[in-house]
Structures are given as structure tokens and as C-alpha cells.
Amino acid sequence: MSKTEIQTDKAPTPVAAFSQGVVKNGILQVAGQVGFDPATGEIVGDTVAEQTRQALRNVVAVLEAGGSSLADVMMMRVYLTDTAHFADMNKVYDEFMTEKPFPARTTVYVGLPAKLLVEIDALAVLD
């Protein structure tokens, strides 16, 4: 079966050879999204809360472009640069996750390019 690229101007354009999202066999994988404003390409805010909010908006934009929503997400992965940011990220994450059952989630700590504090990807199953 072939895979289909998902692309939207409501999420940042990738700066390397990857798609914003890809669908195959009813599974939509959203590439890691960071706190870039898709209109300007600039990082939104200096705090992990501001960047998490924008990263999740970008995830939602790609999901919607693929005919999906947060309700279809089975797995979220959150990448943080600092363990001290966990609580602030989690507060914003909870603003978006309002529908049970919630997706499974993994949070890991990584290095990201300068000034980026969080990256989030998602895996959704389409009906």
C-alpha cells in the first residue's frame, strides 16, 4: 500500500527531508512539532508553556489536514530539554486533552536546537 503525505500551511514547513504527516493503512503519523509560528517561522515564546501550546496547535493542524483530530490519537510523544519543565508542559497538555480515553504518552528528555524547549509528535488511527 502507498503512503500519502499530509501538508498544511497551518503548521510549520519542515526544514529537512520529512513530511508534516504521513498516512498509510489508516494510520496517521504526525512529525515532531515545535513551537514555531507557521506564519512567521519564529519561535513562539520563551517559556515551555508557550512553546507547548504552539507545538500542540501545530500537531492539531496536521491532524486536521489528515482528516483526524486529537480524539483519534493513540500515542503522543513529548520531548523536553529540561526535567524542570515537566509540570508546566503538563498543565498546557491537559488543556488540549479533554476527551477520554486519553492517548498513551511518553515523555523523554533530549537536546533540541537553540531556544526550543519542547517537541511533540502524535500517532492517530483514522476511521
Q: Give dist(CA 116, CA 127) in Å, integer.
A: 34
Cβ neighbours, 10 Å, residue 113: 10
Decide: pTM greater than 0.85.
yes
pLDDT at position 121 is 98
**pLDDT tens sequence across 79-127:** 999 999 999 999 999 999 998 999 999 999 999 998 999 999 999 999 8
- In the chain, the domains with their CATH numbers are 4-125 (3.30.1330.40)
pLDDT at position 127 is 81
**Residue 1: is its pLDDT beyond 80?**
no
